[in-house]
Structure 1
């Protein structure tokens, strides 16, 4: 069984995925970390040196290479569901979970490592919020195709119980 965590950057996909995988003895993978390991460089460097189109191609290939994993929680990048029919593919091979964090929470979380995130590096606080709001509205139709949506009060370890309840034989 594959569980794909989707949502905007800073929604807690990697953090919660790691927490849940430890507590429930599932494997954890982060698509961006897998890409960085394979490419031997950071996501920011890939964007800067090879561009977003190259990154999105590598991202789709990396994601699809995970289809044979078992009992795995996979944290996807914020834009992963929006390209190459990735969302449809994830829904076909596993369960997608939209971590629906609030925009202020997202902004608070991503400000910490803003410089490492190529789409937002260098933005002022106002420009950052405008970027988040605009991208959120563009990506929401993809996120809403998820099997399960977890809301802010469910973005904790108990949220995983909601996911497990969705799986027929978990």
Structure 2
């Protein structure tokens, strides 16, 4: 896909799959990035919720995490099999070796790397995070963060998420990062 920019055309050659912890900004940055690049924005969690006609928390409670992860893998495979897009994934999606392989074959992974304090600030007042429905949600988030960070580090690209940066600023930083890889995003002068 090619999009006119102020000074040049930007062409997205491969789907960009945003990975990272809950609260890192995958959905907000994904929407803004897709808009700026004039490509579709897709959200694997939203697709699962729509297909199941129930919330992710209810799927976890009713069917278990293993069932959810299987559906998630099927959805990710389907969503990145088409034209280049921006895909936001759930926080645990990248933990699956099969998902990582699918993402690298058909797109490129970008880790939105937010620190633990920023993540806590963003998610602590939300009740839509099934993994944080514990007696000590901060401790749970901290444990998940410690377990997942080494796997997120396997992403092809990593963007440090700055506390206080706006969605537009983080989106522009993401575009700059992608432009370092012309096989992914290319500026056509």
Is the CA contact (8 Å cut-off) linking 1:87 and 1:142 kept in structure 2?
no
RMSD (Å), alpha carbons:
1.7
Distance 1:68 1:157 in 2: 24
Distance 1:134 1:46 in 2: 22
Is the CA contact (8 Å cut-off) linking 2:42 and 2:87 kept in structure 1?
yes
Distance 2:150 2:115 in 1: 16
Residues 36/152 of structure 1: CA separation in 2 closer, same or farther (3 Å cut): same
* Match runs of 1:1-170 below 5 Å: 1-113=14-126, 115-121=127-133, 123=135, 127-153=136-162, 156-159=170-173, 160-168=175-183, 170=186
Structure 1 runs of 4+ aligned residues shifted over 3 Å read none
Is the CA contact (8 Å cut-off) linking 2:134 and 2:140 kept in structure 1?
no
Residues 54/140 of structure 1: CA separation in 2 closer, same or farther (3 Å cut): same
Name which one, 1 or 2, has greater alpha-carbon Rg. Answer: 2
Higher strand share: 2
Distance 1:80 1:52 in 2: 11
Structure 2 unaligned segments of length 5 or more: list them: 1-13
Distance 2:78 2:171 in 1: 27
Is the CA contact (8 Å cut-off) linking 1:107 and 1:128 kept in structure 2?
no
Distance 1:30 1:78 in 2: 12
CA-to-partner distance for each residue in 1:24-50, whole Å, 9 max, x for gaps? 212101110000011111101101111
Distance 2:182 2:111 in 1: 16
Structure 1 unaligned segments of length 5 or more: list them: none
CA-to-partner distance for each residue in 1:100-131, whole Å, 9 max, x for gaps? 00111101111232x111111254xxx22211
Higher helix share: 1
**Number of paired residues?**
166
